[in-house]
Amino acid sequence: MLENRGTSAELLRFRVLLVAAVAAYHVAGCRALPPRPIVDEVRIEGLREVDEKPLLEGLSTAETPLLFGVIPGVLEYTTYDANVLARDLERIERYLRARGYYEAKVWAARVIHTSEHEVEVELRVHEGQPVHVRRIDPGVSGLPFDVMLLVNRAREMADGDIFDEDVFEQDKQRIESVLAEAGYAFAKVEGSATVDLAERSALVRYQVELGPKARYGPVRFVGLREIPEKPVRAQLDIEEGGDFSSAELAEAEQALVALGVFSNVEIRPDRSHPETGVVPIQVRVREGSLRALKIGGGARFDVLRLSGHMMTGWEHRNFLGGLRHLRIEARPGTTLFPTRIDRVEPWTAYLPEFRSQVSLRQPALIEPRTTTFVRAEYNAYPLLYPLPEDVKPDDERIIGYHELRFSGGFERSFFNYHLSAALSYNWQANFPFTYQGADPGLDSVKVSFPELVTALDFRDDPLETRRGVYLANSLQVAGFAFGGTVSDVRVRPELRTYLPIKKAVLATRFTFGFLFPSDYGETLDPNSQKARSAELDPEDGSVIADQQKLLFRAFYSGGPNSNRGYPYRGVGPHGPIGFLVPTGLDCSLDRVPADQLPDGCIRPLGGLTLWEASIEARIPFPVDAPLYGVTFLDASDLTRDIGRIRLDVPHLTAGLGLRYLTAVGPIRFDVGYRIPGAQALGQSKLPSEEGRPGGKVLGLFPGAVHLAIGEAF
């Protein structure tokens, strides 16, 4: 006889009140209570080695889902039925035997009435001793040596493992799959297992019928209407008479999906005639919408600005035929200055801005899987920094830029889209103008550079990643023979890892940035004489020229996707930016010591060498709601030294976060805490060139609060 565990008196009273409230809700006319009791909880006790989650998911007697993890019966009901429970007991025993526990028994079951309308189901299970695999006969005798290796590597079950019927069946499918990848489209794999219950052992045998190596037959398309067949066939890149490979077909299917013009793609190889050695291919597609008109708007509210914008755009995914993707977009908007998230106050100025883009993508222009692209942009926007406390909004000098951008190049994916590479030429010109204050007389900045972006992606899901590795790098070479007013080399590698730990995910990110300026930056090098003299007069012409060039090439750290204990661009060198010194402020170090400069003089300057590291645990809440929590550690550093990684100033941050899943990605709320004594190791405070790292959250502790959409990495 099982002991009736029940619940505590307090919890029982709470549940009774909750059920009464739900009953009142239904009596009011919203929904009728079911005639049978509601299943409040299902417990299985006695399992030692077998995971209970898939076992519970396979039962018909299941817990009633709870709205927000508290309220039952609003989403749906699961009711108790004695006949259904009896069948579930048989399912449990069959499931455990299929996992290799042939002695498994359900030896006790208890239905506990916790209230008039609720029951708990408690089951006691005895697993018994498992059956182990004594020997596996792989069935590879007589096969070519390379095929023998494929078959042996495909199997997951090994001698000594617990005999699991699902793994046994999956191994047969895995063997057939690797043989099909190797060109044996007609290979058949049979298997048998002899279980000796007395010895608790199993003898596993496979029989492999290889068949001939196959070749592709005719390739036929079904479902094409408006889209021409020629470019689709080129993107498919499967030719009649070529060597068959199921892996090649899977990559071809991904290539058609990547075109973005089909709502469904399915490649069907016909293996019904093994005597011919030929596999005809049928490609079934369903065309999606090829044209779209977009009208909308949006807003931005963060530590820099409150702004709103309208958006209008048009795209055509088969422009002039040939699957050319034309996209045109315009975003006029206005920033209300100086209102922002950490300082809400009446604005004193309207800063109009405008962003626009035209892009054209052409697949299979050079070769079947390579996409050619060109893109042009015109933007006009203000350069904004947080307004210091000691500066009146009317005294702030606000600079804006007319920006022209052009890029064109090629991109291609390899190895079933695990490796991607994009090579492009980029040209950018920024022409300064003044929104508010005196014109500082700035020159335009032109940057011309080729860029190579590579990515190695082995994540299971790019949006909701639970497992995998992502490695990327960007390499730019600006100026030199390519022209422009800036010459440098810029490198930024990044590594991300994701590891599932039960229901949680442990994620890490490591990023580096190296900028090697050639024809600018002498006043920025802290070891140069010019830099020391520049500190005394930030409004010197050479200082302003270097700072403006660095504005478009430097690295920055701090913010919602970086070090979350700091505000946006809060980590790294700070000081006066000569062309942004507010009216009436003296920012010259020959008259004012660095630690006594007014707040209005302190701006993030950017740096030449960057490192960032983050580790984050993503833990789902034990409730039936799209919520999960996050705990994280962030560290980073940024210097104006060339190629110097400084590890003794880690700017270490600890924090907590909350995620709410939506159709557009998780809405993210993070609170970062700058750990005292862990910002600069061995120093009581950060180096003087770091400026002021940021304020306190609600006046309580040093840190920052961030609200964003999407994961930090």
In tens, the pLDDT along 305-354 reads 889 999 999 999 999 888 999 999 999 999 998 877 666 678 889 999 99
- Does pLDDT of 371 surpass 80? yes
- Does pLDDT of 584 surpass 60? yes
The tally of domains found in the chain comes to 5
Average pLDDT over residues 259-264: 91
Q: Which residue has the tokens 């909004």?
A: 393
Using CA atoms, how far apart are residues 419 and 473, in angstroms rounded to an integer? 12
Does residue 618 fall inside a structural domain?
A: yes
- Does pLDDT of 76 surpass 70? no
707 and 570 within one domain: yes
Long-range CB contact pairs, 499-503, < 8 A, 24+: 499/467, 500/466, 500/467, 503/619, 503/620
- Which residue type is seen at 550? L
Residue 302 DSSP code: S
Q: How confident is the model at residue 296 (pLDDT cuts 50, 70, 90)?
A: very high
Residues 556-573 pLDDT 10s:
999 899 999 998 888 988
242 and 192 within one domain: no
DSSP 613-640: EEEEEEEE-SSSSSEEEEEEEEEEEEES
Average pLDDT over residues 15-22: 48
What burial class does residue 182 get, using C-beta atoms within 10 Å of its C-beta: 0-12 exposed, 13-18 middle, 19+ buried? Answer: buried
- Does pLDDT of 72 surpass 80? no
Average pLDDT over residues 607-616: 96
95 and 162 within one domain: no
- Listed in sequence order, the residues at least 6 apart from 14 whose beta carbon sits closer than 8 Å to its beta carbon are none
Using CA atoms, how far apart are residues 565 and 569, in angstroms rounded to an integer? 11
Using CA atoms, how far apart are residues 15 and 66, in angstroms rounded to an integer? 13
Range of the domain at 622: 493-713
Q: What is the pLDDT of residue 172?
A: 93
310 and 195 within one domain: no
Does residue 462 fall inside a structural domain?
A: no
Does residue 593 fall inside a structural domain?
A: yes
Percent of the chain topping pLDDT 70: 88
Q: What is the pLDDT of residue 568?
A: 86
200 and 235 within one domain: no
Average pLDDT over residues 202-229: 92
* Tokens matching residue 264: 């469904």
**CA-based diameter of the chain, in Å?**
94
CB 377 within 8 A of CB 355: yes
Q: Which residue has the tokens 């402020």?
A: 585
503 and 392 within one domain: no
Q: How confident is the model at residue 12 (pLDDT cuts 50, 70, 90)?
A: very low
Q: How confident is the model at residue 583 (pLDDT cuts 50, 70, 90)?
A: low
| Of 496 and 1, the one with more pLDDT | 496
Does residue 467 fall inside a structural domain?
A: no
**Bond into 462 cis (ω within 30):** no
Q: Within 10 Å of residue 296's Cβ, how many Cβ atoms?
A: 10
- Does pLDDT of 428 surpass 70? yes
107 and 22 within one domain: yes
Residue 52 DSSP code: H
Residues 465-502 pLDDT 10s:
999 999 999 999 999 999 999 999 999 999 999 999 98
Using CA atoms, how far apart are residues 650 and 679, in angstroms rounded to an integer? 6
Name the phi and psi angles at 269, rounded to 5.
-80, 135
| Of 255 and 579, the one with more pLDDT | 255
Using CA atoms, how far apart are residues 585 and 603, in angstroms rounded to an integer? 14
Residue ending a domain, among 255, 287, 319, is 287
Does residue 121 fall inside a structural domain?
A: yes
296 and 266 within one domain: no
Q: What is the pLDDT of residue 677?
A: 87
Q: What is the pLDDT of residue 196?
A: 92
* Tokens matching residue 625: 């709601």
Q: Encode 689-710: b = buried (16+ Cβ within 10 Å), e = exposed.
A: ebbebbeebeeeebbbbbebee
Using CA atoms, how far apart are residues 403 and 380, in angstroms rounded to an integer? 6
CB 478 within 8 A of CB 487: yes
Q: How confident is the model at residue 36 (pLDDT cuts 50, 70, 90)?
A: confident
Q: How do beta strands 118-126 and 38-45 pair?
A: parallel
pTM, 2 dp = 0.77
Q: How confident is the model at residue 27 (pLDDT cuts 50, 70, 90)?
A: very low
| Of 594 and 640, the one with more pLDDT | 640
DSSP 319-374: TTSTT-EEEEEEEEEEEEES-BTTB-----EEEEEEEEEEEEEEETSSSTTEEEEE
- CATH number, domain containing residue 121: 3.10.20.310
Q: Which residues pair with 610 in a beta bridge?
A: 513, 638
Does residue 348 fall inside a structural domain?
A: yes
DSSP 567-584: -TT-BS-EE--GGGPPTT
- Listed in sequence order, the residues at least 6 apart from 684 whose beta carbon sits closer than 8 Å to its beta carbon are none
419 and 526 within one domain: no
340 and 256 within one domain: no
Residues 279-293 pLDDT 10s:
999 999 999 999 999
Q: How confident is the model at residue 71 (pLDDT cuts 50, 70, 90)?
A: very low
Using CA atoms, how far apart are residues 130 and 128, in angstroms rounded to an integer? 7
Q: What is the pLDDT of residue 527?
A: 62
What burial class does residue 454 get, using C-beta atoms within 10 Å of its C-beta: 0-12 exposed, 13-18 middle, 19+ buried? Answer: middle
Does residue 574 fall inside a structural domain?
A: yes
Does residue 453 fall inside a structural domain?
A: no
98 and 236 within one domain: no
Q: How do beta strands 215-222 and 278-287 pair?
A: parallel
Residue ending a domain, among 69, 100, 126, is 126
Residue ending a domain, among 159, 175, 209, is 209
Average pLDDT over residues 387-416: 88
344 and 257 within one domain: no
